[in-house]
Structure 1
């Protein structure tokens, strides 16, 4: 495990703990010799993680769609920045360059990316471990919803187990390194109409 794909907000949130944790994530990745793959932004938690890993001698590779360039949010100090034509290409390249995925707090984009990468794993398109850093209980309600999806018959327990949750970056990284969950592709469909 070398390249860690981070999904997180382009905002910093209202609670300072989110920015503090994003800084800790960047510092920890650098300390462990891991590289950051992310959306290429300079703002919010995205920029905080990138700044922290770079400040500690680590590598940060950003992937950003060209339509965002005029918004001046692209991080200018990255180890490498890849500009794509579309959001879909962006997500594909980020996944191809990564060995594991972690979602920090974020909004629509973070959830979109997290659920897409989980779906890709469920379908057998990759085998990367996927984690959520549940800072300040940010994902508690979402995790309850995922459990309801299982209890109501819309998601198999084996596929829910593909999502690794922790509130500490060091232990989350350790869990990702030791992940053995497989999900369930064969017989995935819970029922037929």
Structure 2
């Protein structure tokens, strides 16, 4: 399975890197391929390192203005023309999507995927990996949107919240 992972390229502490390493190990040991933003920095590097160390493959999708931080030893590296093209390529090459901790870019990617699913333009399973309760507030907001009629589909049709790597991988295996 090609697992698209959207996440931060920031240097983060052990509360975020340890669960990321665990998910990376599950990807690699499961014989899966990581499809990610191609960066060799921060949490993106942590996950790519973990996948490779566990025997998995890497497909990176970077953008021209970030080529200097693109991973050199990925199995495949695509250079997209802009961020919109990058998101499209990441989704195209993925059988499933996992959203890990990140900033505004990751949030943009997550909400775009939800919009695509809402309109029937994306049907792949999506997991939001809620490491250390990072997305508790976002889950609360999404549930409010659902309860107050802002989502035309049940939230569970758009994405699944998982608290740890094992739960995220189990959900993906059930649906791909």
Task: Tell whether the structures are fold-level matches, with TM greater than 0.5.
Answer: yes
The structure that is helix-richer by fraction is 2
Q: 2:172 aligns with which of 167, 173, 176?
A: 176
Q: Distance between the aligned counterparts of 1:117 and 1:151, measured in 2?
A: 20
**Counterpart of 1:183?**
none
Query: Is there any run of 5+ residues in structure 2 with no aligned partner, and where?
Result: none
**Counterpart of 1:188?**
none
Larger radius of gyration, structure 1 or 2?
Answer: 1
Task: Provide, for residues 23-44 of structure 1, a one-character-per-residue CA deviation record: whole Å limited to 9, x for no partner.
Answer: 1111110111110000000111
Deviation at 1:68, TM superposition (A): 1.4
Q: Write out the 4+ residue segments of structure 1 that deviate beyond 4 Å after TM superposition.
A: none
Report SS of the residue matched to 2:128: strand
Deviation at 1:157, TM superposition (A): 5.1
Give me the TM-score of the superposition, normalised by structure 2.
0.94
Map 1:1-193; keep pairs closer than 5 Å: 2-13=1-12, 15-69=13-67, 72-156=68-152, 158-179=154-175
> 2:60, 2:77 within 8 Å by CA — same for their partners in 1?
yes
Give me the TM-score of the superposition, normalised by structure 1.
0.86
Q: CA RMSD in A?
A: 1.5
Deviation at 1:153, TM superposition (A): 2.1
Query: Is there any run of 5+ residues in structure 1 with no aligned partner, and where?
Result: 181-193
Q: Distance between the aligned counterparts of 2:131 and 2:11, measured in 1?
A: 13
If asked which structure has higher relative contact order (CA below 8 Å, sep 6+), I would say: 2
